[in-house]
Structure 1
């Protein structure tokens, strides 16, 4: 008892505050009982995705089907009683209830009977996915307008005749009041919400695909999500922070894949000044034609303009990059200063001592005597673009969400999540990186990179330090020791101007070789203070070429790479359409997905993404909430409440009556 008394005295201020929330012995006991029940429930399902790259339709579908989890529940419940076609229709209804309902009502003669059967089936599915949660948590997840009714129906006891009649009457009334559509939509939403407890996005939401802004809208509506920034995400964050080099790179990437609509329609960025500038200064730009898969749907005239805009912004980009590199000799990127290596008379460029012919030698805005200087028109253009990025309300909403729900890395339930790499030397030592004059490595580097990225956006004064932070955002995008990029160089210039593909090589950081060995994967896990016996590293960034037999599970299961080609542009080289990872109370399994055609076809034909599941780690005893980070927090709270209970019983802290008096 003396030990507990000492603990109460040591934590007296905190316990006094806690007593305001739990003012009586009974309130403390009730909460301890509740928390002990919660920590003994099965662990919630975690869903990991990465490298979405703007593929909003495929993302929406996998988000809706929870990487096949919902289909598994439907098959588990109805595999022996319903045919494949009916089960597929149920799944599609859950994924896209509004659209599917419209289609079904046109096809069904007797909708009342269909509604009754469907409501019963959806309630059974909902009951299944809700079974691992407390009734309180399920109730909080319910749409408010149907909270009472759903709660009643989920906890129905259909064995007794009177109870069955009561609940059947509720559903019958829902149908007769023409409220069944809204109720089905609410149930479908609840099923999807309960199927996955936590969503992890391991980087690269932006670029290449058509509408990353729509993905961000969906993430902002998600009930529980965290994001580990990828280099493409940090690029857009840097653009919103005001980095001219990041802004030019964002536009260059969008033009390269014919995705300018995300800037104009998604974020209201005015690209007309760039279009006029490009039309006035650039002629034929065939080498800058967009690489987008769907570019054939764009008029030829528009493609020519996009190509001109692409070349115009690319030249501006190389000038701006040169200025950043010159400002920061610590970046050690002088080998990327290529404009001054061009021999304009010969049409060649010298890279690392070797001369290469260029496929384009028309440079009307480059001053040979000072190749990195922006022209007066380019300066004015960049001023307008910078203002447009800074003032885009929707872009800045998304960027603030990336900051509030994201980070360079995350340690979650004893797993280490980051997008790219932890820079390493060939011998497995952590690589030192200079960040604005501070040298750091390992976890300290990741923490420093994270804080610098936040200062780039949130630092209020336009100072030299803020500009250095913005410059570092660009470095995180493509720097040779950047943990988000992890390659020796980004060969944008070479890919645009040189046919010799040997110049396009971007050597990977040794991390990508070293981390495949279990001892070094464990070293990284240990660096972040995680449990080396059970923890994993979960990466994205580098597409796994499944078509060539590459395995996403490495280092004896310690490292999982979940970039398998979600982006259409990567699928010819990966052979699949992405990996996702499911981590539930039974263990971990990797899902490999085939390409997704379209939402319209999925709804019309009840098509799902074809996925294969690989279980690579099972747990002997089913994991409980107590084994998670939340479980640790709840266990700590139970201990604190136990101290408060003892304080009440020993008279060290007085209870409050219902009237608020002592």
Structure 2
């Protein structure tokens, strides 16, 4: 206990008087100190890190349900020698999908009451294990109201002791649950509680959106999750920009959805009306085969017939041309972006059918541009302008989209420092010599942490500032720059070659040169410099990134710079899995160390329920602690130790008479 004198706390009296309202007596302040000290000596909670989920909601939800294989490990540890493999698999499936599994069991089980009694016992054993590192208070707060008292009793009764009374007491509870026909509800509650307790905190290191069909479902899951944070990725930023009102961001969002035949998120998830775009595209490109805009339907969530595929291709072409025009408006408004080389429509020779670029001529793969005026190529046609007004209204009036964006803002940031780890999605722009690159934002230059802090502030201004705020339009334009600007930490490439990839066959124009960060990040010195910039100098500190898929099948490793940097984009997105050879990573950081869990492709939710097919995962040890990490060693521990010091000062103030004790008029609420 720290020694505080009367003289040392005089300057804190104003604050201590406020604190005394919560702890009005010596007894209450002392009790809180004891409670906090006890928490400091518990093992730290388990953190899970995922990145680049890209709309693959079924795989994402399953990884949360099975806690990256942790549930299966707990079940094996508890019942390894007492249950058959099929029984353990069935128990795991029940924990993952309790409602669906119960329906299957009830259809085939002869003695359902006996099954209920056995299963409830097993679930209590699993729950007792996963809750052991938490205080009773924290577990109690996680309990479903309906069964709170019963679960507390069950978790803290030891039926392994030779005490017949306790055994009969527990069995009596189970029999009552069955006889009152509440067994299904109890099993569902216990399964959800296990899922809730086995992951203490969840870090999403960017890119929830695009490619896959269910980003909106992922956001529903996250917005109801008990403890999570997001480090914004470039694909998140483009959706946030669209929600802010940036029309270029809206066009990009729609184009990417068309490219991957992903209409679910736009239409079903957010109610974005695509009928005006479909009508416009059919009118303007009715006879156009739009072959170069054929969507990547093999990655779509549902099969499409040829007619629908052609319609989506027409819509993709229509919105792409609009996108190029809208982007030119932003580029021309901001010469400081130095992105004039991205305005390419005026370089098309409409007579020769070529693109004149950098002194060379490249044959265009498509020359049907009915909405482009060669004399004024960046001007929207009247029909295009009308279409964008309708799209704008649809985005701005989507209640579900804005609910998710508010959640994204409330729980997100450009970076996060958590328990000695630095999390950001892509990069920190670096100069060629390895120093932090100075980047101009408005009238000022920023580098390193200050640059990311300034961006974080602009991202929030773009959404929350009043329309009268002069910086709002600048911030909204900058949202688009964060998507594709060469000095944007969420992009950090020489260019985004969208136009060239569509219209020019020559690969030399497709190349997007990565920034210096990606060449220098293998250096221990570079990683130490970045960590120090963010105030982290611990021996076992790490940078955790996503963004660039790790091509495992080509021998690439997720660990770099001697383990200082962990790139955990393993290809959740099905579109990337042919490149990576796997289907994503989870980084698990518990009290004993760090493990990287490598996932195989997830077949389907239906097969997981009906056949018990789990994700096949392989764990690799990243770092093992010589001493178990406790709460006192975490960021929360630092906060608790500060609270303890303040309470110790309050005790001195009470005992020296500087503050009078004021016993409560009403007793505190207690729990049985």
Q: Same fold (TM over 0.5)?
A: yes
CA–CA distance in structure 2, aligned partners of residues 4 and 188 of structure 1: 51
CA contact (8 A) 1:436 1:469 kept: no
The Cα shift of 1:334 comes to: 1.3
SS in 2 for 1:590: strand
2:294 maps to 1:289: yes
SS in 2 for 1:410: strand
Equivalent runs, 1:16-165 vs 2, <5 Å: 16-158=17-159, 159=161, 160-165=163-168
Equivalent runs, 1:450-529 vs 2, <5 Å: 450-461=456-467, 465-529=471-535
- Displaced runs of 4+ in structure 1, greater than 4 A? none
SS in 1 for 2:297: coil
CA contact (8 A) 1:541 1:563 kept: yes
SS in 1 for 2:278: helix
| Number of the residue aligned with 2:253 | 250
CA contact (8 A) 2:299 2:575 kept: no
Equivalent runs, 1:518-597 vs 2, <5 Å: 518-597=524-603
CA–CA distance in structure 2, aligned partners of residues 359 and 195 of structure 1: 53
Mean CA deviation greater in 628-637 or 430-439: 430-439
CA–CA distance in structure 1, aligned partners of residues 644 and 655 of structure 2: 16
Equivalent runs, 1:234-273 vs 2, <5 Å: 234-273=237-276
SS in 1 for 2:43: coil
2:338 maps to 1:332: yes
| Number of the residue aligned with 1:366 | 372
CA–CA distance in structure 2, aligned partners of residues 13 and 500 of structure 1: 71
2:210 maps to 1:204: no
CA contact (8 A) 2:47 2:203 kept: yes
The Cα shift of 1:6 comes to: 2.5
SS in 1 for 2:501: helix
2:608 maps to 1:602: yes
The Cα shift of 1:660 comes to: 7.8
1:315 corresponds to which of 321, 324, 327: 321
The Cα shift of 1:464 comes to: 5.2
The Cα shift of 1:463 comes to: 5.6
CA–CA distance in structure 2, aligned partners of residues 206 and 329 of structure 1: 29
Mean CA deviation greater in 591-600 or 499-508: 499-508
| Number of the residue aligned with 2:229 | 226
| Number of the residue aligned with 1:213 | 216
For residues 404-451 of structure 1, the C-alpha deviation after alignment (integer angstroms, 9 at most, x for no partner) is: 000010011111000010011222111121222221110000000100
Mean CA deviation greater in 286-295 or 114-123: 286-295
The Cα shift of 1:329 comes to: 1.0
The Cα shift of 1:496 comes to: 0.9
CA–CA distance in structure 2, aligned partners of residues 181 and 437 of structure 1: 63
For residues 237-278 of structure 1, the C-alpha deviation after alignment (integer angstroms, 9 at most, x for no partner) is: 000000011000000000000012211111011111111111
2:433 corresponds to which of 420, 427, 445: 427
CA–CA distance in structure 1, aligned partners of residues 665 and 406 of structure 2: 43
CA contact (8 A) 2:426 2:490 kept: yes
CA–CA distance in structure 1, aligned partners of residues 126 and 149 of structure 2: 18
The Cα shift of 1:651 comes to: 1.1
Q: TM-score, normalised by structure 2?
A: 0.97
CA contact (8 A) 1:415 1:538 kept: yes
SS in 2 for 1:293: helix
CA–CA distance in structure 1, aligned partners of residues 5 and 542 of structure 2: 37
CA–CA distance in structure 2, aligned partners of residues 443 and 183 of structure 1: 48
CA–CA distance in structure 2, aligned partners of residues 503 and 82 of structure 1: 60
CA–CA distance in structure 2, aligned partners of residues 352 and 589 of structure 1: 48
CA–CA distance in structure 2, aligned partners of residues 660 and 103 of structure 1: 51
CA–CA distance in structure 1, aligned partners of residues 142 and 577 of structure 2: 36
CA contact (8 A) 1:522 1:532 kept: no
The Cα shift of 1:624 comes to: 0.3
CA contact (8 A) 2:573 2:583 kept: yes
Q: TM-score, normalised by structure 1?
A: 0.98
CA contact (8 A) 2:79 2:88 kept: yes
For residues 510-530 of structure 1, the C-alpha deviation after alignment (integer angstroms, 9 at most, x for no partner) is: 111211111110000000011
Structure 2: runs of 5+ lacking an equivalent: 668-672
CA contact (8 A) 1:526 1:532 kept: no
Mean CA deviation greater in 162-171 or 341-350: 341-350
The Cα shift of 1:462 comes to: 5.2
Quote the RMSD (CA, aligned, Å). 1.3
For residues 279-321 of structure 1, the C-alpha deviation after alignment (integer angstroms, 9 at most, x for no partner) is: 1111221111111324571121111111111000000000111
SS in 2 for 1:568: coil
Structure 1: runs of 5+ lacking an equivalent: none
1:175 corresponds to which of 178, 186, 189: 178
